[in-house]
Amino acid sequence: MTYRSIERARDSRRLDQATWAGDSLLFLSYDTIGVGQIETELIDFGLVFEDVPFFAYGVELQPGETLREGQFPAVMCGVKEWQFTEVEADDRATPFYIGAFLWISITSNISYRLRFRLSFEGISMRNVEHFR
């Protein structure tokens, strides 16, 4: 769904104008210890995004950790699966995104304690319960 389709929905009175919150940015953190591959539990946004939100991450050492030269951790993170709810509109199901399962991969010779900073950004709704 795009900004124009939201405007069309408002114009045709399909959605309450007070429902849309506009652009929302959700920040979360996820702590890890050691190396390996992790699949997270469901991360519930507490928001309803009208389209797949933009996902980004960064990593920092937890307090007290020190990098060892030549032994920096290599990290990757991605979305394994989006959690969504579907709403019937115009005789078709429209997905609205409410959460995600992530995968995290960490390689290193050292067992670092890391904190992943996650962000999800997109157009969300004020009235979350309306679409749950």
Mean of per-residue pLDDT scores for the chain: 82
* Confidence at residue 12, expressed as pLDDT on a 0 to 100 scale: 46
Q: How far apart are CA 125 and CA 48, in angstroms?
A: 6
* Confidence at residue 102, expressed as pLDDT on a 0 to 100 scale: 96
* Confidence at residue 74, expressed as pLDDT on a 0 to 100 scale: 95
Q: For 36-48, what is each residue's pLDDT tens digit? A: 999 999 999 988 8
Strands 54-61, 113-125: pairing is: antiparallel
For 102, the token pair is 């992530």
Domains and CATH numbers, the chain: 21-131 (2.60.40)
Q: For 60-78, what is each residue's pLDDT tens digit? A: 999 999 999 999 999 999 9
Q: Is 35 exposed, middle or buried (0-12, 13-18, 19+ CB in 10 A)?
A: middle
Q: For 117-132, what is each residue's pLDDT tens digit? A: 999 999 887 665 555 4
DSSP assignment, residue 53?
P
